[in-house]
Amino acid sequence: MVFDDDLTSCAELVQQGDPDRFMAVMAAPAEARPLLFALYAFNIELAKAPWASQESMIAEMRVQWWRDIGAEITQGGPVRRHFVATPLGRLLRAELAGHIEPMAEARRWDIYKDPFEDEAAFDHYIDATSGGLMWMAAASLGQAEEEVVRRFAYGVGIANWFKAIPELVGHQRIPLLDGTPEGLRQLARRGLDHIVQAEKQRASISKEAGVALLSGWQARAILSQALQQPERIAEGRLGRSEFRRRTGLIWRAARGHW
C-alpha cells in the first residue's frame, strides 16, 4: 500500500510519541506497516484523550469521540474524516474494531484520581488496553490464538505500566494496588509468568501475526529488572541501552521471534 498523507502523518506521530513501537514497525515486513502505523497512532491518540483537559467532562468527550470512531468502523459505514481515523477505518476489519470500545472504556480510569478497585479491575485495564491493541494488530496480520496473544500482551502491558508509573504519580494518579517492593516484585512475576506461558504456545501464533508481538520485545528484560531492583520503577530507570534495544529487536525480527 502506498503511504498517503494520512499514513505518513500516522507514522510521524508514532515515531514521535511511541518510538519503541515505531522501531518495531520498521522491523516488520513492509506490507504490515500501514495497518500497524494506523493502529499505533490510534493508540497514542486514545491514550492522550483523558489528559486533554483538567475538566473531566471535556476529557470524557475526547474519549467518547474515539468510541464513536470504533462504532463507525464496526458498523461498516463511512468514518469521519481524521488523519488517524480515516486510514484506521480503511485498514481495520469491522469485527476487530469492536475491541476499541473496551479500550476506550478502560481509558476512562486515566481521567480520574481514584485507585483501581481491586486486582480484577487492574487486570481488566491492562487486558483492554495492551491486550486489545495487540490482538487487533495480530489478528489483522495472520492466524493467531487470541488467548495466547492476550497472555503475552498482559506481560508487555505490565512492563509498559512500570515505565509509566513516575509520570502517573506526577499527575497524582494511584497506579498500583500495592506499591511496596514485594508488591512490585509480585506484579513483575505475574507479568513474566504470562510471557513464559505465551512463549510455550508460540506455535499457535503464525509468523505473520507474530509480527504484531514484536512490539513487546523489551518486556521480559524490563520485568526482570523490576523483579530484581523494584526501586528502579519509581526512579524511572527501567530499560536497556540503545544498543541492546536495537540489537535485540533486530535479532528477533530476523528469526521471526517475539
Global pTM reads 0.96
Give exposure, 139-177, as e/b (b: 16+ Cβ within 10 Å).
bbbeebbeebbbbbbbbbbbbbbbbebbeeeeeebebbe
Confidence of residue 77 (pLDDT cuts 50, 70, 90): confident
Q: Give pLDDT, residue 204.
A: 97
- Please check the confidence at residue 218 and state whether its pLDDT lies above 90: yes
The confidence score (pLDDT) of residue 2 equals 72
CATH class given for the domain over 113-258: mainly alpha
Handedness of CA 19, 150, 66, 31 (dihedral sign): positive
CB 175 within 8 A of CB 169: yes
Positions of CATH 1.10.600.10 in the chain: 113-258
